[in-house]
Every structure is written in C-alpha cells, then in structure tokens.
Amino acid sequence: MRVLITAGPTREYLDDVRYLSNSSSGRMGYAVAESLIAAGHEVVLVSGPVEIPIPSGCKIHQVETTSEMRDACVNHFPNCDGVIAAAAVCDYKPRERIQGKIAKTGDGISIEMIETDDVLAELGRTKDQRWVVGFALEAENQRANALQKLRAKNCDVVVLNSPTAIGSDTNQVELIDRNGDVVAEWSGSKQDVADRLVQWTLQNLG
C-alpha cells in the first residue's frame, strides 16, 4: 500500500524575511511515516520545514508554504491508497506579500489576511475510493469541533489532540468516526501513538 503523509508546519510570508507559522515539530507525522515503513508500506511524505531526520525509506517532498503543500498533495494523492494528514497548516496568509523588508516607522501597521488553501478539504473532495485520516487540534468544544472538521473535509476518521501536543514528544488523542463516536483513545510517546494509529488504520481502512 502507498500512503500519503503530511507533516510539520507551513509558513506564510509577510515580507521577504518575516513569516507566520506555528511551533509544530513534525514529530507526529514523521512517526506515522516510520510506522508505515516498518509495516512494509510505501510512504510519500510531504513535509513543511522541520529539524528532525527524514525517515529512512520514504519519498520526501519538502515544502514551505501552504500552497506548495497543496500542490504536492494534489499531485501525489491520486497514486496513493490513502492519506494521513498530520501537518499543522497555516489557516491564514497576508493578502499581499511585501517585497523586501517592512521597515519600522514608529506607527502600527495593519495587514489584511485571507484564508489559505484547505489542503485536507481538497483531498477529501477528490478521494473517490481512497481513505482520509485527518488531524484536529482543538482548544475548546474539542469533540464537536473535530466532528465538524471531519464532516466538512470528508474524512473517514479524525485524530483529535490538544495544543499541548505542539512541539511535545508525547501525545494524547481520541480517534473519532463519522458518527461522532470515539473509537479509540491512545496516549504516550508520539511514536507509540503513531504505531497504534497505523495499526488501526490498516485494520479498519486499508
């Protein structure tokens, strides 16, 4: 089986030196990739900028912006059996990127923001017979928001975790299906959680 994995953050530039991003380490997505490779499957990894080793044996496509991640995913998804979308994608970007560097003037500035490409939603719309596992990082109304995301993006299941997962070596997650039921709960190192997620996915979706 060939599986598409997204991992890490994306960046959206304000000018040529400054960008919006988040503190995602990429560890969760990379751990999922390692678990799939260990199980004998082929992995196509689309990764934002991270500082961890690339899993041995996977095809890596390194991207920076959300648009680049979208293009890579749309290109490779048709040749995969499913996707596990663990990336922490920027939701907004400046309407216009300033050329050069924004200089201080002593006054405040306003920057108009627009939504970025919804990578997971596009994969969900075009999945056909492929399966889609999404991730939802929620701070409030966690299960309700995760279920709304699952349905809006046409996922088969969604992995719910909290902001404490960002940059951490451990994770505590719930796996929610389309009925809103919690079908599994796992906690531990991100590698342990990844192993359990991959095992569940292969047994129930793959």
User: Is 187 inside any structural domain?
Assistant: yes
Q: Are 123 and 134 in contact (CB under 8 A)?
A: no
Tell me how many domains the chain contains: 1
Whether residue 154 lies in the annotated active site:
no
User: Is 174 inside any structural domain?
Assistant: yes
pLDDT string in tens for the chain (206-residue length):
999 999 999 999 999 999 999 999 999 999 999 999 999 999 999 999 999 999 999 999 999 999 999 999 999 999 999 999 999 999 999 999 999 999 988 899 899 999 999 999 999 999 999 999 999 998 889 999 999 999 999 999 999 998 888 878 899 999 999 999 999 999 999 999 999 999 999 999 97
* Domain that residue 88 falls in: 2-98+112-204
User: Is 157 inside any structural domain?
Assistant: yes
Reported pTM: 0.95
The reported pLDDT for the residue numbered 167 is 79
- Give the Cβ contact number of residue 56 at 10 Å: 8
User: Is 33 inside any structural domain?
Assistant: yes
Which one of the listed residues 22, 145, 154, 204 is annotated catalytic? 22
User: Is 175 inside any structural domain?
Assistant: yes
In sequence order, the 6+-apart residues with CB closer than 8 A to the CB of 150 are 134, 136, 157, 158, 176, 178
User: Is 103 inside any structural domain?
Assistant: no
CATH number where 57 lies? 3.40.50.10300
CA atoms of 144 and 61, how far apart (whole Å): 33
String of DSSP letters for 95-110: SSPPSS-PPP-SS---
User: Is 11 inside any structural domain?
Assistant: yes
The reported pLDDT for the residue numbered 136 is 95
Exposure pattern of 17-42 as b/e (b: 16+ CB <10 Å)?
eebbbbebbbbbbbbbbbbbbeeebe
How many helices (H) and strands (E) the chain has is answered by: 5, 12
Q: Are 130 and 81 in contact (CB under 8 A)?
A: yes
119: left (phi over 0), alpha (psi -120 to 50) or beta: alpha
User: Is 105 inside any structural domain?
Assistant: no
Under DSSP, is residue 45 helix (H, G, I), strand (E, B) or coil?
strand
